[in-house]
């Protein structure tokens, strides 16, 4: 395996090292570039949300209930829990005749610090709408309602909703359902384990779905279009997923996952790309993604500059003094 690292510097000294595994593929599944172990098995985590949203569209559920493009984008999101995100989740649920009490993703404070602080100041308690996965769960409930399937067991691995989503992930990744490793995600639904190169293949096909069945290909295009037009719904203004789409004007669409996972698609190139930080530390993830895109000449100089705060983040102490930096150290 090639050595692929992200270094954390304090002053002149490398204080910590994170190992990186990366695969770049085309939509036919050919491995184009690699770093570390491109066949490392890991869970896709929230990167899979864009693919899990496909059955909501191809079934006809999204059209039946009149989901907007912003609501479709939220179904793919690990969002900040800002007002716009909670409102969109509430809107989806209202369209299907349900409420936030039907969401089983759990409750946590908004990721967006100003929103969380303002809610605390006003004495407003967070609900499941503020959970970063409320969009995905609202999408699952939309599909359950359309299928007239039980809404109280929608997270169960044997529920029709979860079976449709497993099939979609299996189809795009070329990993059979029998080979797919299943676990439980942070929000309680099934999560999918596969090799990094297979996750990259799924994203390559998401962005360039010409070889897929017509309904699935159409759903892929709708997902990409919805996220491109509503990047703030995928994460939030201060988040990398949103800023990557904005910096590239939608040419690149990517999604983070917990434990240091990221996957992206470049539809015009027919390329998929997946990264895993071996120790799961998120601080190494975005430097690795930007550096790999830069090395592959997939970002212009202006785009690299626009993403500089994610590429080589400055480390500061509690006084705000610059004390170090994070820098990728690998070659593809």
Residue 101: how many CB atoms within 10 A of its CB? 9
CA atoms within 13 A on the CB side of 253: 34
Q: Let me know: does 56 contact 44? Beta carbons within 8 Å.
A: no
Contact 273, 266 (CB under 8 A): yes
**Burial of 305 by CB count in 10 Å (0-12 exposed, 13-18 middle, 19+ buried)?**
exposed
Q: Measured between alpha carbons, how far is 97 from 61 in angstroms, rounded to an integer?
A: 13
Question: What is the 8-class DSSP label of residue 283?
Answer: G
What is the residue-averaged pLDDT of the chain? 96
> How much is the pLDDT for 3?
83
Structure tokens at 246: 């904005």
| Residue 305, C-beta contacts closer than 8 angstroms, at least 6 positions apart | none
pLDDT at res. 1: 55
Residue ranges of domains in the chain, CATH in brackets: 5-314 (3.40.710)
Predicted TM-score (pTM) of this structure:
0.95
Q: Which residues of the chain have pLDDT under 50?
A: none
178-193 residue pLDDT tens: 999 999 999 999 999 9
Longest dimension (CA), the chain: 61
Q: pLDDT at position 2, please?
A: 59
Three-state SS at 21? strand
């Amino acid at each position: 395996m090639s050595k692929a690292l992200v270094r954390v510097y304090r002053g002149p000294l490398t204080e910590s090292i994170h190992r990186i595994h990366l695969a770049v593929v085309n939509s036919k599944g050919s491995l184009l570039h690699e770093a570390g172990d491109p066949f490392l098995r890991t869970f896709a985590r929230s990167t899979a949300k864009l693919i899990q949203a496909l059955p909501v569209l191809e079934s006809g559920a999204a059209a039946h209930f009149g989901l907007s493009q912003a609501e479709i984008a939220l179904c793919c999101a690990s969002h900040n829990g800002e007002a716009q995100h909670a409102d969109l989740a509430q809107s989806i649920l209202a369209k299907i005749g349900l409420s936030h009490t039907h969401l089983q993703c759990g409750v946590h404070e908004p990721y967006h610090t100003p929103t969380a602080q303002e809610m605390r100041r006003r004495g407003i308690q967070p609900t499941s709408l503020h959970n970063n996965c409320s969009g995905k769960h609202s999408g699952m409930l939309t599909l359950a309602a359309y299928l007239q399937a039980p809404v109280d067991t929608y997270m169960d691995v044997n529920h029709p909703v979860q079976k449709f989503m497993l099939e979609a992930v299996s189809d795009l990744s070329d990993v059979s359902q029998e080979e797919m490793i299943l676990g439980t995600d942070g929000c309680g639904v099934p999560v999918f384990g596969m090799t990094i190169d297979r996750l990259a293949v799924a994203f390559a096909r998401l962005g360039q779905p010409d070889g897929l069945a017509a309904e699935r290909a159409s759903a892929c295009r709708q997902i990409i279009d919805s996220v491109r037009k509503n990047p703030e719904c995928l994460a939030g203004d201060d988040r990398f997923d949103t800023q990557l789409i904005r910096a590239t004007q939608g040419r690149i669409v990517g999604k983070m996952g917990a434990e240091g996972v990221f996957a992206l698609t470049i539809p015009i190139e027919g390329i998929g790309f997946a990264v895993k930080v071996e120790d799961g530390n998120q601080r190494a993830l975005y430097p690795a993604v930007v550096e790999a895109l830069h090395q592959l000449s997939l970002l212009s100089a202006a785009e690299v500059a626009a993403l500089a705060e994610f590429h080589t983040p400055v480390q500061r102490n509690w006084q705000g003094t610059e004390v170090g930096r994070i820098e990728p150290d690998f070659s593809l």
